[in-house]
Structure 1
């Protein structure tokens, strides 16, 4: 049975930042090489000024 996981990110920089989230690349036997598996990407405003928290 799958277990739900929630990830929360806070930007402590004074500037808006883009955040990218990756999982470990899958291992294939033969075929083309996999370089990355992106789960999610999003810009995030500064927490100190806007109180923004990114949760996915």
Structure 2
């Protein structure tokens, strides 16, 4: 399952990077998925971060 962050919705709370630093980071003040981690959408901690994202910017597809 593919995970991504919509830069149009993200306002840089950094919550995703705090919750799952192995998958998310902050780049230019916005959340981002680390290179090579785009397929981490099946991870329960990633799903939890998506549910708790204050801007609902994390997308899980597939």
Taking structure 1 as the reference length, the TM-score comes to: 0.26
Structure 1 or 2, whichever has the larger Rg, is 1
More strand by share: 1
**Larger relative helix fraction:** 2
